[in-house]
Structure 1
Amino acid sequence: MPNFIAVDLGGTNIRAGIVTDAGTVLEHTAAPTPVTGRSGAVITDAIARLIDDLQGSPAAAAVAAIGISSAGPLDPERGAVIRSPNIAFPEVDLVEPLTEQFGLPVFLVNDARAGLLGERWVGAARGYANIVYITMSTGIGGGAIVGGRLLLGRNGNAGEVGHLFVDNRYDQLCGCGYHGHWEAYGSGRFMPRFFTVWQESEGIGDAGFAADTPAAIFAAARAGEPVALAFMEALGRVNARGISNVIAAYNPEIIVLDGPIARHNGDLVMEHLLPFVDRYLALPRLVISSLAGRAPLLGAAAYARERL
């Protein structure tokens, strides 16, 4: 059976691995995502170096294709990342240059859709026909399978749940340039800013702890800091609006939460959002991914496997 080279391009890191036809990761490597350089070609070159490293493995002899998951939006016809708010370059061409360099079919899919495919293949969503996957990382992304079919939309970007409108009280600016989107509140990139705006709106002076990262905010909440716990309620309301919108839109059986925020602090995220989720439709099963951050990587391989 063939193996696949899988690549997961994120705003912070690039991960790559060799994945078997049964969904086992045989080799794995990673590097920081370039944020400086003349063009997006520096990211393509960084991915090529990781693939070169993997090709030294005996498992590379059986590789049939390369699957790439990437933060979007994507241009699937061109095979490129276009104006992603979480990537430092406006354009990153991937499919054509990597196909030419390695002589293998290259398939590109949004990272959240890839995470969804990974969870359906070997994760918590295995056996379900109606699934939503949400990653809470540098940004917030998502994907949906409805009636067993992956929703891609007109150009492969369906499921951008991080850009659902969730708030106009704090009116936070999202990285995409618009206001009130879920990503502008609950993502790793913007949560500390939301904390500061919320703190000022509540007339709170000294919070009693540094709130410059999501990890610091969650740690303060675990320590019982009153300000952090009060913010958890505000954050929970915003997260619940996002989840409520997702349930109303897709009517899933299961929602899988992934990304560092969910994996490391999923208990707090769940505790503070569940009381505020709309019950217009039945509450689906909500779980935290058990794939240790590899769902998009596995999903990239799954996508290449299906397309091949």
Structure 2
Amino acid sequence: MPNLIAVDLGGTQIRAGIVTENGRILEHARTPTPVVGQSGAVVTDALLGLIERLLRSPAGTEAAIAAVGISSAGPLDLTRGMMVHSPNIAFPEVALVEPVRERFGVPTFLVNDARAGLLGERWVGAARGCGNVVYVTMSTGIGGGAVVGGRLLLGRNGNAGEIGHLFVDNHYNQRCGCGHLGHWEAYGSGRFMPRFFAAWQESEGIGDAGFVADTPAAIFAAARAGEPVALAFMEALGRVNARGISNVIVAYNPEVIVFDGPIARYNGDLVIEHLMPFVDRYLALPRLVVSTFEGRAPLLGAAAYAWESL
């Protein structure tokens, strides 16, 4: 049986894998996402090189490749098959579908990375068989995807579910990478959480925090160690995350919310613990779970999307 190649393009790295029709990843490779160059062509070239590396692997030579599925950080322009003006990518446009299709001569399909993660979880993961699901990825940015009544919500240009840009705060007025104030991504994402910590620390009149809060990992480690300042910040972060999750619940009425991305993967227990007291109970609280795919859900979802499109 033929296999296909799935690609996951994020702000930090590009992953790719050869995936079977039942969701097995036979080969896997990754490379850093380029941040220096004259145009987005450097990202496209890195992606093409990664696919070529897989095609030279044993699994790539043993079976025909039926298609390529690409999961990409958004926003996307599905008409042109491109990533456009992503706040977490160094270039305004990155061509994806046409370069891959022309280079390898197979059908190529593009879907937002958070929507892809959702499809992966519904295919073979924590949301398997669920008809109403929201996927929340907490990584460089914050993204999401929703299935409502068994149907994936895509929106006009494939960008429905950009939940990282939900408005959650007008007290600290943190500026998001997209340029606007108060968006969830400006507080709970890996890129901006340390800056939010600094703003909160100043607002609370706290001098020495007792630890260096320059990464989310350092903040969560201090909280696990019982550092009083870190634990106090966990409450502030929990309130903001709860506003985002409360908005998600009333917008989509899910039965399960799957958290993914490095922040959730390594510290999902703390994220959920500290947001739970502040989540609105207007609608029934869904099941909150952390993905067990170790970051591979968008890759699997890109494959699922390609198989369904074929």
Q: Normalised by the shorter chain, which TM-score bucket? A: over 0.9
CA offsets 1:160-182 (integer angstroms, 9 cap, x no match): 00000000000110000111000
Asked if 1:276 corresponds to 2:278, the answer is yes
Contact 1:73 1:157 in 2 (8 A): yes
Asked if 1:265 corresponds to 2:271, the answer is no
Identify the residue that residue 241 of structure 2 maps to in structure 1: 239
Aligned mates of 1:101, 1:25 — CA distance in 2: 22
Identify the residue that residue 3 of structure 1 maps to in structure 2: 3
Counterpart of 1:220 (choices 219, 222, 247) is: 222
CA offsets 1:252-274 (integer angstroms, 9 cap, x no match): 00000000000100111011000
Give the AA of the match of 2:178. Answer: C
CA offsets 1:118-177 (integer angstroms, 9 cap, x no match): 000010000100000000000000000000000000110000000000000001100001
Identify the residue that residue 290 of structure 1 maps to in structure 2: 292
| Unaligned residue ranges in structure 2 (runs of 5+) | none
Aligned mates of 2:212, 2:70 — CA distance in 1: 37
Identify the residue that residue 17 of structure 1 maps to in structure 2: 17
Aligned mates of 1:49, 1:154 — CA distance in 2: 31
Aligned mates of 1:22, 1:157 — CA distance in 2: 27
Aligned mates of 1:94, 1:106 — CA distance in 2: 9
CA offsets 1:180-217 (integer angstroms, 9 cap, x no match): 00000000000000000000000000001000000000
- In the superposition, the TM-score normalised over structure 1's length comes to 0.99
CA offsets 1:20-78 (integer angstroms, 9 cap, x no match): 00000000000000000010000000001100000013433321000010100000000
Contact 1:68 1:109 in 2 (8 A): yes
| Unaligned residue ranges in structure 1 (runs of 5+) | none
SS at match of 1:274: helix
- In the superposition, the TM-score normalised over structure 2's length comes to 0.99
SS at match of 1:51: helix
Which has the larger displacement, 182-191 or 93-102?
A: 93-102
Identify the residue that residue 89 of structure 2 maps to in structure 1: 87
Identify the residue that residue 28 of structure 2 maps to in structure 1: 28
Give the AA of the match of 1:20. Answer: T
Q: Which runs of 4+ in 1 moved over 4 A?
A: none
Give the AA of the match of 1:123. Answer: G
Aligned mates of 1:257, 1:62 — CA distance in 2: 34
